[in-house]
Chain A
Amino acid sequence: GIQVEQSPPDLILQEGANSTLRCNFSDSVNNLQWFHQNPWGQLINLFYIPSGTKQNGRLSATTVATERYSLLYISSSQTTDSGVYFCAVESRMRFGAGTRLTVKP
């Protein structure tokens, strides 16, 4: 099946810093989503982005389907951005292992 790799596995930032999270996938995809899992376990849908670029406030995402990767940008990070960020692909939504982000005040 399709493989999904996320990097980095862990990221520690100071509040206000910017970051880029990456998701590589091994085959062409029709569906790709980015999620944020908060400390209580809830998965929040950030972007549905099988291709192209989208922005929502301080967050933006770009998927280059032909090169099989997606990027999630977080600007001016806040402590509430802490948690695990998952990339998921395809109709059964295969998840990557996630990037654990810690934003320090």
Chain B
Amino acid sequence: EAGVTQSPTHLIKTRGQQATLRCSPISGHTSVYWYQQALGLGLQFLLWYDEGEERNRGNFPPRFSGRQFPNYSSELNVNALELEDSALYLCASSPPSAGHGYTFGSGTRLTVV
């Protein structure tokens, strides 16, 4: 069974540009979660998508947005990039039934210069 896949692995952008990060969940998983982990810090919840809808978002500005496609894959878009957006962005997925927890992908390391 393929795990959660994220692309690209690394991304370098200039301040002010837009970044798009992609996530494919495990087959059969309908929920996708995005987290930001700045260097040396913990994981901060960004967004939760389930069945194509945004269910919840963390304390991040509106320039962080995303969507979930009919095949349950997801995109995270970060507009007007700032230097402090440099971080590891992790995606996780979970199945529709309770009691199984999350499975994480390997992450996208975004560097804003």
Contacts and interface: CB of A to CB of B under 8 A. Distances in A.
Contacts, number: 47
Given A41-B88, A42-B107, A92-B48, A31 B101 contact: yes
Contacts of A43: 90, 92, 104
A35 B99 contact: no
Interface of B is mostly: strand
Interface string A20-52: 000000000011010100001111110010000
Interface stretch (A11-19, A73-81, A94-102): A94-102
B102 A33 contact: yes
Contact of B101 (A33, A40, A41, A94): A33
Contact of A42 (B45, B100, B101, B106): B106
Q: Which size class do B's interface residues fall under?
A: 20 to 34
Nearest to A35: B104
B100 A93 contact: no
A69 interface: no
Contacts of B92: 43, 93
Nearest to B57: A92
B70 interface: no
B18 interface: no
A86 B43 contact: yes
B42 A45 contact: no
Contacts of B106: 40-42
B33 interface: yes
20 contacts: A33-B101, A40-B106, A41-B88, A41-B90, A41-B106, A41-B107, A42-B107, A43-B104, A45-B101, A45-B102, A45-B104, A48-B99, A86-B43, A88-B43, A88-B102, A92-B58, A93-B45, A94-B45, A95-B35, A96-B42
Interface of A: 30-31, 33, 35, 40-45, 48, 86, 88, 92-98
Given A30-B98, A40-B106, A97-B42, 6 more contacts: A31-B98, A41-B106, A88-B43, A92-B33, A92-B56, A93-B33
